[in-house]
Amino acid sequence: MQSVTIINPNKLVFGENSFAQFITDYTALGLQRLYLVTIPPVAAQIADGLHTLQQQGVAIQVNDRIAGEPSFNDFEKLLAEARSFGADSIVGIGGGSVLDVAKLIAAQIKNTQTTAEVIGIRNLKERKTYLACIPTTSGTGSEVSPNALFIDDSGAKVGVISPFLVPDAAYIDPALTLSVPASITASTGIDALTHCLEAYTNNFAHPVIDLIALEGVRLIARYLKRACDNGQDLEARAQVALGSMYGGMCLGPVNTAAVHALSYPLGVSYHVPHGLSIALLLPYVMEFNLPAAPERHAQIGLALGAAPGQSDMATARQGIDLIKKLISDCGLPASLEELNIPFDSIDKMAEDVLKIQRLLKNNLRPVTQQDAVNIYRAAFNKVVA
């Protein structure tokens, strides 16, 4: 059995009143200057807690300007602001983009390495500043992962991946996700499910990660539609948040594969939100990978709610049908054509996909440029002569 390295936050708090626990824990640390990266929609929910910290003598500077996938230019502005403030601690409260920015600020605020030097896998060598992450969406799992993704000057999506990006503490309070709109709940939920699914159907899959990956698939498949139908359904929100956390735990030891690789050109070139691009591509990458590991895909099918078929292949195909149904039931588009992506962009996107070998090497089947072309064509749901 190959070895696996799992690095999780030193403290992980999940469930009701987790945000209140963060306030208690932070107060006990004796830190005095908190730089907070967050989003406007949760301002009212966190206001009392922040006031409590201020009453304890904590100075807080809030930045709520990260919207959408962040660039390194966005990051550098916030880093300069945090340094000017003299922050001794960094906290992110928001979606994956907010958390990614907070994580890299905490690493870089006292680091001797430049931003250019830390881009890539395990190039970041240190973090000296306290970091806590509190997600308000259930999708990226960034609160427990070693990954932070940014757009570089060329428009490409690149990652900083390092164990030093795993927060000191993560607090996952499902109540903070109650106000997330159904469309974002759906797309981020499918992204979280895909983290689990791609970790299980992966060249580097590992029995330890298999357990949480399958459970993440099961939870999100069962509860995502409920969370979309009724955003105030706290049980559904909690179960999807748990599945999302499991997905984040998969990202360090195993990581994602072709679905995520093929999604990048859609985000970079056409600004398709990440979770939505994942949802549009997932069924077709599953169909592509199915012949390489029918038994693995059959287990995914069972986790999605399929009945055991006469063969692994039959069970797996039920699973793909259930994925398509879940995406549809949650109100997400079914094809790239619905987003007005130019059909003649396929060749260029397929060419760009081949540059993302850090993910493609994980895929069960090698992906050629023609394979990528075929998957994109399938995702258009139109017959090509």
Q: What is the pTM of this model?
A: 0.95
Task: Tell me the HSE value of 110 on the side-chain side, using a 13 A CA sphere.
Answer: 14
**pLDDT, tens digit (0-9, with 9 covering 90-100), for 358-368:** 999 999 999 99
Report whether pLDDT(383) > 60: no
**pLDDT, tens digit (0-9, with 9 covering 90-100), for 69-118:** 899 999 999 999 999 999 999 999 999 999 999 999 999 999 999 999 99
Q: Per-residue DSSP letters for 2-19?
A: --------SEEEESTTHH
**pLDDT, tens digit (0-9, with 9 covering 90-100), for 245-266:** 999 999 999 999 999 999 999 9
Quickly state the pLDDT bin for 382 (edges 50, 70, 90).
low
- What is each CA distance from 348 to 282, 370, 376, in whole angstroms? 20, 11, 11
pLDDT of res. 140: 93
Q: What three-state secondary structure class fits 92?
A: strand
CATH code of the domain occupying 11-177: 3.40.50.1970
**pLDDT, tens digit (0-9, with 9 covering 90-100), for 172-197:** 999 999 999 999 999 999 999 999 99
pLDDT of res. 251: 94
Domain with CATH 3.40.50.1970 in the chain: 11-177
Q: Per-residue DSSP letters for 16-32?
A: TTHHHHHHHHHHHHT--
Quickly state the pLDDT bin for 385 (edges 50, 70, 90).
very low
Report whether pLDDT(342) > 70: yes
- Residue 64: phi and psi, rounded to 5, are -120, 30
- Residue 24: phi and psi, rounded to 5, are -60, -45
Domain with CATH 1.20.1090.10 in the chain: 182-379
Which one-letter DSSP state was computed for residue 340?
T
CATH code of the domain occupying 182-379: 1.20.1090.10
Mean pLDDT, the chain, whole residue set: 96
